[in-house]
Structure 1
Amino acid sequence: MDLDGELVNRAFPQACLDGYIVVLDLLFCSPWILDHLIKALADWTSGLSRDCPEMGSNAMSIDGDVFAKYSVSRCLPEGMDLNPARMVLAEMMGTFVLMFCVCGIIGTTQITRGQVALLEYASTAGLSVIVLVFALGPISGAHVNPAVTIAFAAFGHFPWSRVPFYVLAQIVGSILATYVGKCVYDIKPELMVTQPLQDCNSAFWVEFIATFIIMFLIASLTYQKSVGHLSGFIVGLSIGLAVLITGPLSGGSLNPARSLGPAIISWNFKDIWVYITAPVIGSLAGALMFHALRIQSRPCTSTDSSTNAGLLGHSIAIRRS
């Protein structure tokens, strides 16, 4: 038997290689796990090479590309870009976190028998948005709101082809968070449903005006890249302020996904049109107003990629497929 071949088989037997391929095939649907497994495997094999210098140039070369090809070739189309899947999953997770925080403050209100006031509710919403902007902004743009996604797409800052996936992910995240919050805090999902506290006209207009202001601010922060990391705090503060001024009239939704999740779980769609139409129209109007008023000198953009506008004050490049 060839000595070099024996050393290779001893250091990295074929059975071990097959085992890793099976594991990667089973976990291919989670890009985060796949990436970390590939990196760990690459580090391990490079360590084997250092421990066995006699393997020389005939040693088996193992890197991430080889294992990615094994997994993707069996389960996904060749050359498929997994970045959109990561972005959609990030939006679902972000909306889940946001809605679970809302469920948490409502559950706390029930536990403390109504001692949590509107200020605490608004603070929870604002702080949640700050955390999500910094955590998910570099990944998906941290929209976590169908109205924001639609407004970005309407003005060319987000591809329309991905809008349905973002919106669906946001709604699913809200549904899951509502169900989990119901189970954890042992509260009725009806308590999380947003309904007008006055009349529908007042609720519609206050939701419209609040989302108009928020989207105008977001568009300004996205355009002014010099704002940088302060944008997360600015957006969070604006959300908290908007909840304070809308809460007494509409319950402070500002987000179709936030209202649809509890409505679907409780199957209570009374006046749901207010919380779907007002934020979407308000966001579109806010983005339109900014584009009408902004200085016309546009920053340089690459012609080779579209952009995914986000709440972190900058855009994320998206490779064209």
Structure 2
Amino acid sequence: MDHKGCENKEIGNCITIRGDRGGLLMEDGRSQCFLGGKGLDYSRMVIAEMVGTFIMMYCIYGIVAITELRKGQVGLLEYAATAGFAIIMVIFTVGPISGAHVNPSITIAFAASGQFPWSMVPFYIVAQTVGSVIAVWVGMCVYSMEPSFAVTRPLRGRSAAFWSELIATFFIMFLASNLSNHAREVGLLSGFAVAASISLAVLLTGPVSGASLNPARSFAPALVSWKFDDLWLYIVGPTIGALGGVLLCRLLQLDHQYSSSTSSPNRKFTSPDKRSMDASDDLLN
């Protein structure tokens, strides 16, 4: 692909290259900010993020509604499986366009680590919120049930709910950040790995906090039903957990460990900064 005449600009740790047709390319020496995303503009990314969050939230609303309709016969395992499959669907549809954050906490964490431009964070959060709210409204029409049953509530006390949300989101983000640093090496398996981690997190947090792990997931039914009790738990907890996960990944420099462990004995190690420079040179030439 010819990138002559492109405008090269660095945003955080991401190298942004704007082509002749206005397409946006983003590359990083440690990761691809958008998995497979090429020639994208801001509007497409934001719309894709909204659609992805809609898909995720509709699936979650649906399984919760079915559980209610069947008087609890659909259990935690089915809920966890639904969440995992929904994430797989989202990653392999909108992932190449927006990165499939579908979670404000994930977006903020990636921005804090320099893997996502802060200028895009407000647009992504609005898109995620709108997508979730639309999903709740559609779910109300399909299942004819009030959204209040989908509101997340502490089941073992506020403290336990807060810490379970924080720790589970920490685990998810720790994995996601490491996978994003090695998107080329891991390939399609990264989507399944993230989905599996979310399913596991749901199993661990469901009996304690209701397994939100996502401020948009909790905010949408709370807004539609106008029930905001304990909502802060599901905003602050996952956000702190996601920030902790991505920052610990950066601190441990897992990209160095991965490169050294998978390289051949005679292969010369290349630092992230050098790889970033080489990547940008290759794109511009």
For normalisation by structure 1, the TM-score amounts to 0.68
User: Structure 2: which amino acid aligns with 1:157?
Assistant: Q
Q: Secondary structure at the match of 1:301?
A: helix
- Once the 2 structures are TM-superposed, how far is the Cα of residue 171 of structure 1 from its aligned partner? 0.5
Does 2:233 align with 1:274? yes
Counterpart position of 1:156: 114
Q: After superposition, what is the alpha-carbon deviation per residue over 1:199-249, rounded to whole angstroms, capped at 9, x for unaligned?
A: 110000000000000000001101123001100100000000000000000
Distance in 2, matches of 1:128 and 1:212, equals 20
User: Structure 1: which amino acid aligns with 2:214?
Assistant: N
User: Structure 1: which amino acid aligns with 2:113?
Assistant: F
Q: 1:298 aligns with which of 263, 272, 275?
A: 272
Structure exhibiting the larger radius of gyration computed from Cα positions:
1
Counterpart position of 1:242: 201
- Once the 2 structures are TM-superposed, how far is the Cα of residue 89 of structure 1 from its aligned partner? 0.4
Unaligned runs of 5+ in 1: 1-64, 66-80, 306-316
- Once the 2 structures are TM-superposed, how far is the Cα of residue 112 of structure 1 from its aligned partner? 1.7
Q: Secondary structure at the match of 2:94?
A: helix
Does 2:218 align with 1:259? yes
Counterpart position of 2:157: 199
Distance in 1, matches of 2:222 and 2:93, equals 28
Does 2:128 align with 1:187? no
User: Structure 1: which amino acid aligns with 2:194?
Assistant: V
Counterpart position of 2:242: 283
More helix by share: 1
Counterpart position of 1:26: none
Unaligned runs of 5+ in 2: 1-20, 22-38, 257-270
Q: Secondary structure at the match of 2:48?
A: helix
Counterpart position of 2:123: 165
Q: Secondary structure at the match of 1:272?
A: coil
Distance in 2, matches of 1:96 and 1:303, equals 38
- Once the 2 structures are TM-superposed, how far is the Cα of residue 93 of structure 1 from its aligned partner? 0.5
Distance in 1, matches of 2:279 and 2:72, equals 54
- Once the 2 structures are TM-superposed, how far is the Cα of residue 82 of structure 1 from its aligned partner? 7.1
Work out the number of aligned pairs and report it.
Answer: 228
**Once the two structures are aligned, what percentage of the paired residues are identical?**
55
Does 2:76 align with 1:118? yes
Q: After superposition, what is the alpha-carbon deviation per residue over 1:257-305, rounded to whole angstroms, capped at 9, x for unaligned?
A: 0000001000100000000000000000001111111244427225897
For normalisation by structure 2, the TM-score amounts to 0.77
Matches within 5 A, 1:1-321: 83-225=41-183, 226-295=185-254, 296=256, 297-298=271-272, 300-301=275-276
RMSD: 1.9
